[in-house]
Amino acid sequence: MGFEPADVSGGPRRDVLTATDVAPDPIPVHVACVMDGNGRWAARRGLPRTEGHAAGEAALLDAVEGALDLRIPWITMYAFSTENWRRPADEVRYLMGFNESLLVRRRDELHEKGVRIRFAGRRDWRVPRRVLRRMDESTALTKHNRRCTLTMAFNYGGRAEIVDAVRKLVADGIPPNKINEKAIRSRLYFPDQPDPDLVVRTSGEHRISNFLLWQLAYSELVFDDVLWPDFRRTHLFEAVRHYQRRQRRYGGVTQ
Ligand code: FPP
């Protein structure tokens, strides 16, 4: 994983990591995941890319379970970017329907576990109305849950979010001398959400791909070679163990 050995010496193998293998402190308050590698997972099996997305559902649910095991209160999943409209039309159509059906099939289960579901991204004309309706229903159903907030970044782009914040600044009539980081942050999609402490990207790609550009300023990044459909909570636990060995300085110096 990433640039470090997969296991700490003498530690348990990653395929058997459980929540108790993760030190109780520090646990990241917010973990964000780039669910990458579904297409490659399917191609390796001679399957259409869409089968890879379907297989990614189990990974998503297990990652959420892992977050609950570790008492991580915020988790954000990159499900569809503002650039993913460039994918083949069939795949885009599949992903819209898949996200809708995933919500219908899984929202009660997530609700019972105390998960609040929210969506970050643009609600533009390209997102089918029925998908928006399911998103709104899931948000309404789970809005009082506080055990964990699962934010699905859907039709989301980090640059688009900053553009939208700037538009709000202008619409609010904020003069240039009153524009500061606080003014921008308060106009992001979810100002109440803490910045991610840890970002996990699967499939061996080492990039951010327009994810949470404002919020990732001081996040710790962990890259895992596992393809998203094979991701399970053990990979999350391992990523948290890597995180626990990092020294966060925020531009300052280590004591
Ligand atoms: C960024 O890479 C990755 C994403 C935006 C994640 C996309 C994930 C899905 C479409 C599947 C969602 C799965 C479930 C289970 C809901 P990129 O490919 O957009 O960017 P890149 O070209 O820089 O790699």
Per-residue pLDDT of the chain (255 residues; tens, 9 = 90+): 544 444 434 445 566 899 999 999 999 999 999 999 999 999 999 999 999 999 999 999 999 999 999 999 999 999 999 999 999 999 999 999 999 999 999 999 999 999 999 999 999 999 999 999 999 999 999 999 999 999 999 999 999 999 999 999 999 999 999 999 999 999 999 999 999 999 999 999 999 999 999 999 999 999 999 999 999 999 999 999 999 999 999 999 976
State which CATH number among 3.40.1180.10, 3.20.10.10, 3.30.1490.190, 3.30.365.10 fits the domain covering 29-157+196-244. 3.40.1180.10
Is 57 near ligand 1, meaning CB less than 6 Å away? Answer: yes
Choice among 36, 38, 155, 197 that is catalytic: 36
Quote the ligand 1 centre to 93 CA distance (angstroms). 15
C-alpha span between 48 and 63 (Å, rounded): 24
Strand partners, 80: 154
Quote the ligand 1 centre to 210 CA distance (angstroms). 11
Quote the ligand 1 centre to 248 CA distance (angstroms). 28
φ, ψ at 151 (rounded to 5°): -100, 120
Is 35 near ligand 1, meaning CB less than 6 Å away? Answer: yes
Strands 30-34 and 198-201: parallel
**Catalytic (active site) residue 164:** no
φ, ψ at 129 (rounded to 5°): -55, -40
Report in angstroms the alpha-carbon separations of 6 from 15, 37, 166, 196: 11, 19, 41, 22
The confidence score (pLDDT) of residue 121 equals: 98
Q: What is the domain partition of the chain in residue ranges?
A: 29-157+196-244
Enter the pTM of the model: 0.94
The confidence score (pLDDT) of residue 254 equals: 78
Is 212 near ligand 1, meaning CB less than 6 Å away? Answer: no
Quote the ligand 1 centre to 39 CA distance (angstroms). 9
Is 112 near ligand 1, meaning CB less than 6 Å away? Answer: no
**Catalytic (active site) residue 84:** yes
How many residues belong to the chain?
Answer: 255
User: Can you tell me which atom of ligand 1 is nearest the CA of 95?
Assistant: 10
Choice among 84, 164, 195, 230 that is catalytic: 84
- The SS3 call for residue 222 is strand
Is 205 near ligand 1, meaning CB less than 6 Å away? Answer: yes
